[in-house]
Structure 1
Amino acid sequence: MEPILNSFKDKKGYIIFSILLFTAGAAIGYFAFKQDPEFILSNLNNLMGNIINIGKQIMGKKKLYAIGLIFQNNVKALLLMMFGGIFFGIIPLIGMIFNGLLIGIMLAMVFYEGKTLAFFLATLLPHGILELPVIILGASFGLKTGFEVIIPSKKQNRMENLKENLTKSVLSMGILVPLLYIAAVIETLITPYFAKLF
């Protein structure tokens, strides 16, 4: 267990950077929708196609199927964030901005439809309280990998850095992947209940 926990050390700066990227994306998404909602709504399939498709696939299906599909999708996103970092950190960088963008658009849409902030939080927080930190942590691993591909640390060469970062990424999945499964269970079984309250 200790090696898994140790894999999260030295990520503080990258976690903060990931949060800033996400926040910037959310602000862009929110104000872009406020500026031109018709344009965003007409391009919703392009922006949220994956989310919409998952919603269609799980509609009317058994809960276990929905949990599996949501979990699978989130693990793919995590892997892309973490190991896509080898391409100079570009994939996790864009990924965090895009994820923030979607959240910002969704928040603006909630207000556009006359619903409340409480409704938005009810549909996001139950599972998002686990899912979002996992994605942020995954991005921090990917960003560190990418940064050290460009500028290796003084103690190690580029290949040694890459090997160490990828090893730590794999170890971290011992915590991150189970959290995503719990989040998928919550999203399927609990979040809809909270959403109905509003």
Structure 2
Amino acid sequence: MSLKKLMALMIFLFLIGGILGYLIVLSGQSDLISQLIGGVGEKAKTINFKPFSPSSVLAIFVNNLTVSLISILSGLTAVIPSFIVLANGIITGLVVGLLTQEGLSVFSGILSLMPHGIFELTAIFLSAAYGTSLGVNFWKFMFRRENNFFDVLKKMPKYVLNIVILLIIAAVIEVFISPLVLQFLLNSKTPVPI
């Protein structure tokens, strides 16, 4: 399967996860929401996010790079990267759902995540797609069906460099721009009919 098709698959899984996360909020299952958000909250405590703080940029970058590298390396299983993307989608859907409970529309909730999300999610999708490709080609190599594994492996530095660049941009935007966008949207509560 080509990297483009795997990227499309990862985007699809993320969207499914996002819808599931949003539906969990709509269902009002507060125990499940607390469990899911609690896990994210514990991770957020280790990041110690502070808007407009360079240390937050570094912490977010390191966290997202860790997730991306886990996606690449766990690609040898050929399925774990898909679960990582699905879980990211669920968490994003939960966040959007919770923002709608604060008075934002779904559109505004998504908009609040877009400035950094465009770069961060591209990196997450790329790392998951590349990791899956690496895994699929590894297993094909192991069973002597195909010998593309080393060609795919040689591309790792290029993909990791692209992922690092995307995650640096995402972390800077998440710390310095996204809080302003969210604050603006919460203050204006722009009515968008979605």
TM-score normalised by the chain length of structure 1: 0.81
Selected match of 1:30 from 22, 27, 42? 22
Selected match of 1:140 from 120, 129, 146? 129
Tell me, in whole angstroms, the C-alpha distance in 1 between the residues paired with 2:124 and 2:131.
Answer: 10
- Answer yes or no: is the 8 Å Cα contact 2:37–2:91 preserved in 1: no
In the TM superposition, what is the alpha-carbon distance from 1:158 to its structure 2 partner?
A: 7.0
Which structure 2 segments of 5+ residues have no match? 186-194
Corresponding residue number in structure 1 for 2:44: 52
Corresponding residue number in structure 1 for 2:61: 71
Q: Which amino acid aligns with 2:21?
A: G
- Answer yes or no: is the 8 Å Cα contact 1:45–1:52 preserved in 2: no
Q: Does the alignment pair 1:183 with 2:164?
A: no
Corresponding residue number in structure 1 for 2:182: 195
Corresponding residue number in structure 2 for 1:6: none
Corresponding residue number in structure 1 for 2:105: 116
Could you give the per-residue CA deviations for residues 58-91 of structure 1, whole angstroms, max 9, x where no partner exists? 338x72111111111111111111121012x122
Selected match of 1:167 from 141, 154, 168? 154
Corresponding residue number in structure 1 for 2:13: 21
- Answer yes or no: is the 8 Å Cα contact 1:30–1:105 preserved in 2: yes
Tell me, in whole angstroms, the C-alpha distance in 2 between the residues paired with 1:84 and 1:13.
Answer: 19
Tell me, in whole angstroms, the C-alpha distance in 2 between the residues paired with 1:159 and 1:174.
Answer: 27
Corresponding residue number in structure 2 for 1:39: 31
Which structure 1 segments of 5+ residues have no match? 1-9
- Answer yes or no: is the 8 Å Cα contact 1:122–1:191 preserved in 2: no
TM-score normalised by the chain length of structure 2: 0.82
Question: 112-121 vs 187-196, which deviates more?
Answer: 112-121
Tell me, in whole angstroms, the C-alpha distance in 2 between the residues paired with 1:19 and 1:30.
Answer: 16
Tell me, in whole angstroms, the C-alpha distance in 2 between the residues paired with 1:181 and 1:141.
Answer: 19
1:72 and 1:158, CA in 2 relative to 1: closer, same or farther beyond 3 A?
A: farther
Q: Which amino acid aligns with 2:10?
A: S
- Answer yes or no: is the 8 Å Cα contact 2:122–2:166 preserved in 1: no
SS at match of 1:197: helix
SS at match of 1:59: coil
Tell me, in whole angstroms, the C-alpha distance in 2 between the residues paired with 1:119 and 1:92.
Answer: 28
Q: How does 1:73-88 map to 2 (within 5 A)?
A: 73-87=63-77
1:46 and 1:157, CA in 2 relative to 1: closer, same or farther beyond 3 A?
A: farther
Q: Which amino acid aligns with 2:152?
A: N
SS at match of 1:124: helix
